[in-house]
Amino acid sequence: MTGAFKTNNPVNILVLLVYAFVLKWHSFVYPHIPLPQATDGFLYLKFLNFLSPAGQSIPVIYPLIVLVLTLTQAITFNNLVNNEKLLPKPNYLPAMAYLLITALFPEWWQLSSALIINSLLVWIWAMLSRLFNHPRPKTQVFNAGMVAGLASFLYFPAIGFALLIFFALITLRPFHLSEWLVAILGLLTPYYFLFAILFLGNTWNPLTYLPSVSVSFPQFQQDVWAWGAIVLLIIPFLISGFYIQGNILRMLIQVRKSWSLMLFYLLITLLIPFINFTSTFEYWILCALPFAAFHGYTFFYAPKKWLPVTLHWLMVAFILALNIWVSTYRT
């Protein structure tokens, strides 16, 4: 299977569709109706209310939305990885890795604000990755900031992705104060329009749209499946670090900087869910995209053919067993 995705054959898009459905079959047999969480933003809550009438009568609409989101995110992010030449040859391994990763936790099979934000993060990454030699960087920086501000309307802690924009400016651009100010202006623009609409509509009460912020340490339930998923996330990531380090001198400067940005992206996604923390893994799906890039590197560069094949089928077997376990004990 990894050999098929190692090529840039467009037929792989259809294979990915079947692949995603097989990995998450439980969510179609037993659809999960998402419930609002305290950390969700007002825009996501409005989206859930909009879906609620159809979702109550046809609950399979929720896993269908999840399937469309994950598949489009996988393909779009895969194209970005190929365009930025993070891997030597175009392939579909990052897309395959993303679909695998998003099936490791039952919470990641479900519709959530964090899953929708991943689509916005693909957009942000596309703009940031072009900063290195872009003739009009301020436009890219402003748009990236505006999308990050909009993401906070879905899940307020996502405002933390402003740090990713600032890190991109440090890594990919010489220092220009005007670019930093433009990034801040972009972040504030969605709030400017929100408050303007509230003021003009005589519904001025901005505190209802700005949730309280707290930071807490996670207290997860001890679950062998969760620990297994974490191990399967970490092992390919560590292997990729070894391969990237071994090839870093042969990379173009822009590619090296892109991998540094990807690593910082991963760090941010691991820290953001600690803000207004909940006791599930739901919001950690934000880390799936950067993990997919590193996993894709492992699947591509492994010198022994048995290593990527073993890792792939081990993850598939784990996910299918998890589907069966969830069907038996959680329904």
Tokens of 111: 């519709």
Q: With 0.95 as the threshold, say if the pTM is over it.
A: no
Cβ atoms < 10 Å from Cβ of 202: 6
Check whether 299 has a pLDDT greater than 70: yes
What per-residue confidence (pLDDT) applies to 248?
80
Tokens of 175: 């220092």
- Least confident piece of the model among 5-9, 217-221, 320-324: 217-221
Mean pLDDT of 179-201: 87
Check whether 185 has a pLDDT greater than 90: yes
Report which of 157, 30, 23, 171 is spatially closest to residue 102, judged by C-alpha positions.
23
Query: Each residue of 157-184: pLDDT tens digit?
Result: 888 899 999 999 998 888 889 999 999 9
Residue 151 CA: distances (Å) to CA of 121, 145, 303 = 9, 10, 40
Between CA 68 and CA 110 the distance in angstroms is 12
What per-residue confidence (pLDDT) applies to 219?
58
Q: How confident is the model at residue 213 (pLDDT cuts 50, 70, 90)?
A: low
Share of the chain above pLDDT 90, in %: 37
What per-residue confidence (pLDDT) applies to 210?
62
Q: Are 19 and 2 in contact (CB under 8 A)?
A: no
Across 52-56, 130-134, 218-222, the highest mean pLDDT is recorded for 52-56
SS (H, E, C) the chain: CHHHHCCCCCCHHHHHHHHHHHHCHHHHHCCCCCCCCCCECHHHHHHHHHHHHHHHHCCCHHHHHHHHHHHHHHHHHHHHHHHCCCCCCCCCHHHHHHHHHCCCCHHHHCCCHHHHHHHHHHHHHHHHCCCCCCCCHHHHHHHHHHHHHHHCCCEHHHHHHHHHHHHHHHHHCCCCHHHHHHHHHHHHHHHHHHHHHHHHCCCCCHHHHCCCCCECCCCCCCCHHHHHHHHHHHHHHHHHHHHHHHHHHHCCHHHHHHHHHHHHHHHHHHHHHHECCCCCCHHHHHHHHHHHHHHHHHHHHCCCCHHHHHHHHHHHHHHHHHHHHHHHHCC
Tokens of 105: 């936790």
For the chain, what are the domain ranges? 2-322
Query: Each residue of 52-80: pLDDT tens digit?
Result: 888 888 888 999 999 999 999 999 999 99
**Amino acid (one-letter) located at 158:** A
Check whether 51 has a pLDDT greater than 80: yes
What per-residue confidence (pLDDT) applies to 264?
93
What per-residue confidence (pLDDT) applies to 194?
85
Q: How confident is the model at residue 6 (pLDDT cuts 50, 70, 90)?
A: confident
Between CA 57 and CA 267 the distance in angstroms is 40
Mean pLDDT of 73-96: 91
State the average pLDDT for the chain: 85
- Least confident piece of the model among 264-273, 303-312, 313-322: 303-312
